[in-house]
């Protein structure tokens, strides 16, 4: 097999399984943070992430083109991408450090100045992480899953030491992530070392920078929509942001299903095959649908195990769970548009042609979402919502309502790029199997303890898989493939 030949199903399953395994580690870390901080501090923890996201906006601009050029075997693209992102990381970190007093003053969090200062290190790490992952995505996407598992394992071990043993609270949580990222970057450096040899091609960088306004246009659109969380924090307070963070911690697990189509994008860059699209869609919805149904049915259990006070966040979780289903499917359609775009195939990026592509239309959709969510969020928080939970629930519903038309729009654009078959028959089977699972889960007592909740979750998953494997031939074929790959990996490890 060629070095750059991407294995669609194998890479997708590795990424998805690594994400599922990280559910346990991620939940453990979230519990350590949630149970060793006040509700207000947990809200500040979410705000730290929101603030960080705006200073890593350009982090994916160069990596976007690095992946495309590397997948098409343009020599020197990997090294050029890494060097360029390191320079950008230094600039962004300096800007954040200079604005730090203004940021903490605006959020009235001066008491946590040192904790906010630690974000400087995360900025540099995330820029570097994006650069390494852009290389792996183009060649061996499954290795990103290995790095993610290493990060999660290190974060939990460090979190136990810093958050619980040394009782460092938020400072310990942020420090744990910083050290864990350093370990992940060390692994990525080893995995990509062979690709980082040779000369830097500044001509590539010139082309990438020429097209960077389009990437920045996309990134700003995405972060503009997320500005609703900043508004929520300012007008509804730390507790409202904590409710959202607790629900999002659970709902984001559903989004892991999108990683089943993780390898579709680099695969389409090198070879366009409609069958790959149908396979990826089946894999994503096969898991996204039951995970969404499970999150809705057991929403009371999931938010309670984080902390009993978060039981009020149940309606927030329900709305965000359905939203995660929509965004997971929408991401597949977006990857179809990105992967089939040929405007940069010759290592040249004509800017005027780029802004006339469907790729640019996909980048415009987040602005339409922001045009809906930001005014509504401001109006609800200043005129309607009376309590923190009312505010958070309303915002979650607004986000869901805005993402549904975006899902339909990305589907329409994807269909115009390439003809592919939607797996409608499989979709019906997934829904029926999920409905049976839901009926059983609704009929039993919903636990509020971690181990009992995990047991009930596994029961629901077993019911779904039993029914699906009994009725769906393609699901049985996928199960055999996963088993064969697992046995192969075990044999190679011996």
Q: What residue has token string 């409905």? A: 435
Structural domain count of the chain: 2
Check whether residue 133 and residue 192 sit in a common domain: yes
Does 404 lie in the same domain as 467? yes
Distance of CA 155 to CAs 159, 160, 452, Å? 6, 8, 25
Rounded Cα–Cα distance for residues 254 and 296 (Å): 11
- State how far the Cα of 154 lies from the Cα of 257, in Å rounded to an integer: 23
Residues 6+ apart with CB under 8 A from 178: 118, 121, 122, 125
Do residue 24 and residue 166 come from a single domain?
yes
Average pLDDT over residues 347-362: 78
Q: Is 218 a domain residue?
A: no
Residue 1 confidence (pLDDT): 42
Assigned domain for 223 exists: no
Query: Is 318 inside any structural domain?
Result: yes
Q: Which residues contact 451 (CB under 8 A, 6 or more apart)?
A: none
- Interatomic CA distance for residues 14 and 470, integer angstroms: 24
What percent of the chain is predicted at pLDDT more than 70?
A: 90
In a domain, 224, yes or no: no
Say if residue 18 is in the same domain as residue 114: yes
pTM of the entire predicted model: 0.75
Does 129 share its domain with 253? Answer: no
Q: Are residues 195 and 255 in the same domain?
A: no
* 195 and 237 together in one domain: no
Above 90 in pLDDT, residue 63?
A: yes
Average of per-residue pLDDT across 342-367: 79
291 and 334, same domain (yes or no): yes
**What is the average per-residue pLDDT within 192-215?**
87
Highest averaged pLDDT of the listed ranges 87-91, 211-215, 442-446: 87-91
Spatial separation of the C-alpha atoms in residues 107 and 220, rounded to whole Å? 21
Contact 206, 51 (CB under 8 A): no
DSSP 445: P
Lowest mean pLDDT among 59-63, 260-264, 424-428: 260-264
Residue that is last in its domain, among 176, 200, 224: 200
Residue 488, pLDDT score: 63
177 within some domain? yes
Q: Which of 144, 178, 200 is the last residue of a domain?
A: 200
CA angle, residues 347, 72, 57, in degrees to nearest 5: 70
Minimum mean pLDDT range among 156-165, 184-193, 268-277, 469-478: 268-277
Quick one: CA dihedral 162, 190, 492, 276, positive or negative?
positive
Could you tell me if 176 and 294 lie in one domain? no
In a domain, 212, yes or no: no
Whether residue 166 is found in the same domain as residue 259: no
Range of the domain at 79: 8-200
CA 18-449-315 angle, 5° bins: 80
Q: Are residues 262 and 369 in the same domain?
A: yes
Give the mean model confidence (pLDDT) for residues 139-145: 80
Averaged pLDDT, 33-44? 85
- Token pair, residue 35, equals 């149970």
Is there a domain that residue 472 lies in?
Answer: yes
Residue 391 contacts residue 235 (beta carbons within 8 Å): yes
pLDDT confidence tier of residue 224, bands split at 50, 70 and 90: confident
3 state SS of 356 = coil
- Identify whether residues 160 and 289 lie together within a single domain: no
Instruction: Note whether residue 156 is domain-resident.
Output: yes
């Amino acid at each position: 097999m060629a070095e750059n030949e991407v294995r669609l199903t194998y890479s997708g399953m590795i990424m998805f399984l690594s994400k599922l395994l990280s559910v346990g580690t991620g939940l453990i870390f979230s519990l350590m943070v949630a149970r060793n901080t006040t509700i207000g501090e947990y809200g500040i923890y979410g705000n730290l992430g929101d603030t960080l996201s705006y200073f890593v906006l350009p982090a994916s601009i160069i990596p976007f083109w690095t992946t495309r050029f590397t997948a098409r075997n343009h020599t020197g693209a990997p090294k050029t991408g890494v060097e360029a992102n390191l320079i950008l990381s230094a600039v962004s970190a300096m800007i954040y450090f200079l604005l730090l007093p203004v940021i903490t003053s605006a959020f009235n969090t001066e008491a946590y100045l040192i904790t906010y200062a630690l974000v400087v290190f995360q900025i540099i790490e995330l820029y570097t992480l994006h650069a390494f992952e852009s290389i792996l995505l183009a060649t061996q996407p499954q290795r990103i899953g290995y790095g993610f598992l290493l990060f999660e394992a290190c974060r939990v071990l460090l979190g136990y030491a810093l958050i619980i043993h040394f009782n460092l609270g938020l400072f310990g949580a942020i420090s744990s992530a910083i050290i864990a990222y350093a370990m992940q970057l060390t692994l990525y450096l080893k995995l990509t070392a062979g690709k980082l040899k040779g000369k830097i091609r500044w001509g590539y960088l010139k082309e990438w920078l020429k097209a960077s306004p389009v990437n920045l246009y996309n990134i700003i659109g995405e972060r503009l929509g997320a500005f609703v969380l900043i508004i929520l924090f300012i007008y509804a307070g730390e507790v409202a942001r904590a409710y959202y963070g607790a629900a999002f911690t659970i709902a984001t697990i559903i989004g892991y299903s999108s990683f089943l189509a993780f390898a579709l994008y680099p695969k389409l860059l090198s070879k366009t095959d409609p069958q790959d699209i149908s396979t990826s869609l089946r894999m994503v919805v096969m898991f996204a649908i039951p995970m969404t149904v499970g999150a809705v049915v057991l929403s009371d259990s999931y938010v309670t195990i984080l902390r009993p006070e978060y039981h009020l966040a149940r309606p927030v979780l329900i709305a965000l769970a359905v939203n995660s289903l929509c965004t997971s499917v929408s991401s597949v359609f977006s990857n179809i548009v990105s992967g089939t775009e040929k405007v940069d195939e010759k290592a040249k990026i004509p800017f005027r042609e780029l802004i006339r592509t469907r790729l640019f239309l996909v980048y415009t959709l987040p602005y339409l979402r922001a045009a809906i969510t930001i005014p509504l969020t401001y109006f609800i928080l200043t005129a309607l919502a009376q309590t923190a939970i009312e505010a958070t629930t309303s915002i979650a519903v607004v986000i869901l309502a805005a993402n549904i038309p975006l899902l339909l729009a990305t589907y329409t654009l994807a269909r115009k790029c390439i003809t592919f078959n939607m797996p409608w028959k499989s979709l019906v089977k997934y829904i029926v199997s999920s409905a049976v699972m839901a009926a059983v889960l609704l009929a039993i007592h919903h636990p509020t303890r971690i181990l009992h909740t995990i047991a009930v979750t596994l029961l629901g998953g077993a019911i779904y898989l039993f029914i699906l494997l009994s009725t769906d031939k393609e699901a049985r074929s996928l199960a055999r493939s996963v088993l064969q790959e697992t046995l192969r990996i075990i044999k190679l490890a011996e």
